[in-house]
A and B are shown apart, each in its own frame.
Chain A
Amino acid sequence: MTTTIESRGLTKAYDGHKVVDNLNLDIAAGEIFGLLGPNGAGKTTTILMLLGLVEPSSGEMEVLGLDPRRHPLEVKRRVGFLPDAVGFYDTMTGRQNLRFTARLNGIEDAEDRIHSLLEEVGLADAGDQLVGEYSRGMKQRLGLADALVKDPGVLILDEPTTAIDPEGVAEILGMIRRLATEEGVTILLSSHLLHQVQAVCDRVAIFVDGKVVAQGPPHELAAQQEGPTRVEFRFEDDDEGLGRRLEALGPIQSVNRGRIPGAWIVGVEPTRLAQAVRLASAEAPLVGVHRLDDDLDSIYRRYFESKEEKTA
Chain B
Amino acid sequence: MTTATVTETEKEFRPVSGWRVVAAKELADHLLSGRFIVLMAVLGIATAAAVFAASGGIRDVAPNAQGITALFLKLFTVTVNPVPFPLIVFVGFLAPLLGIMFGFDAVNGERSQGTLPRLLSQPIHRDEVILGKFVAGLSVVAIMLASLVLFVSGIGIFRLGVVPSAAEVTRLFVWLILAVVYVGFWQALATLTSVMARRASTSALIPVGVWLVLALFGSFIFSAVAGLVAPRDGSPAAEVDYLRAEQAISQISPITLFQQGSTVLLDPEVRTVGLVTLEQVDRAIVSELNLTQSLGVVWPQLVVLVAMTAAMFALAYIAFVRQEVRA
Q: Is B25 a contact of A100 with CB atoms below 8 Å?
A: yes
Q: Is A87 a contact of B115 with CB atoms below 8 Å?
A: yes
Q: How many angstroms between the C-alpha atoms of A307 and B13 in the bound complex?
A: 48
**Given A48-B325, A105-B16, A106-B11, A87 contacting B121 (CB threshold 8 A):** no
Q: Does A291 contact B (CB under 8 A)?
A: no
Q: Does B149 contact A (CB under 8 A)?
A: no
Q: Does B283 contact A (CB under 8 A)?
A: no
User: Shortest beta-carbon distance, A91 to chain B, in Å?
Assistant: 7
A65-105 with Cβ < 8 A to chain B:
73-74, 76-79, 81, 83, 85-91, 100-101, 103-105
Interface size class of B (residues with CB under 8 A): 20 to 34
Q: How many angstroms between the C-alpha atoms of A190 and B94 in the bound complex?
A: 49
Q: Is B16 a contact of A53 with CB atoms below 8 Å?
A: no
Q: Is A73 a contact of B113 with CB atoms below 8 Å?
A: no
Q: Is B123 a contact of A83 with CB atoms below 8 Å?
A: no
Instruction: Indicate with 1 or 0, residue by residue over B12-43, a CB within 8 angstroms of chain A CB atoms.
Output: 11111010011001000100110000000000
Q: How many angstroms between the C-alpha atoms of A77 and B16 in the bound complex?
A: 10
Most B CB contacts (10 A, CB to CB) among A51, A79, A87 go to A87
Q: How many angstroms between the C-alpha atoms of A142 and B172 in the bound complex?
A: 48
User: Shortest beta-carbon distance, A44 to chain B, in Å?
Assistant: 7
Q: How many angstroms between the C-alpha atoms of A54 and B120 in the bound complex?
A: 11
**Which residues does chain B contribute within 8 Å of A85, judged by CB atoms?**
114
Q: Is A73 a contact of B15 with CB atoms below 8 Å?
A: yes
Give the residue name and chain of the A residue nearest to B24 (CB).
A103
**Which residues does chain B contribute within 8 Å of A103, judged by CB atoms?**
16, 21
Q: Does B124 contact A (CB under 8 A)?
A: yes
Q: Does A232 contact B (CB under 8 A)?
A: no
Total interface residues on A, CB under 8 Å, equals: 30
A228-265 with Cβ < 8 A to chain B:
none
Q: Does A6 contact B (CB under 8 A)?
A: no
Instruction: Indicate with 1 or 0, residue by residue over B158-202, a CB within 8 angstroms of chain A CB atoms.
Output: 000000000000000000000000000000000000000000000
Q: Does A21 contact B (CB under 8 A)?
A: no
What is A's interface to B at a CB cutoff of 8 Å? 44, 48, 51, 53-54, 73-74, 76-79, 81, 83, 85-91, 100-101, 103-107, 143, 146, 150
Closest 7 CB pairs of A and B: A87-B114, A83-B117, A77-B123, A106-B16, A81-B121, A104-B122, A76-B123
What is B's interface to A at a CB cutoff of 8 Å? 11-16, 18, 21-22, 25, 29, 32-33, 113-115, 117-125, 324-326
Apart from A83-B114, A89-B115, A100-B21, 16 more pairs, CB < 8 Å:
A48-B325, A51-B121, A54-B325, A74-B13, A74-B123, A76-B122, A81-B118, A83-B118, A83-B121, A86-B117, A87-B113, A87-B114, A87-B115, A88-B113, A91-B29, A104-B21
What are 11 residue pairs bridging A and B, where the CB atoms are less than 8 Å apart in the complex? A73-B125, A76-B121, A76-B123, A78-B12, A83-B117, A87-B113, A88-B114, A89-B29, A90-B113, A104-B122, A104-B124
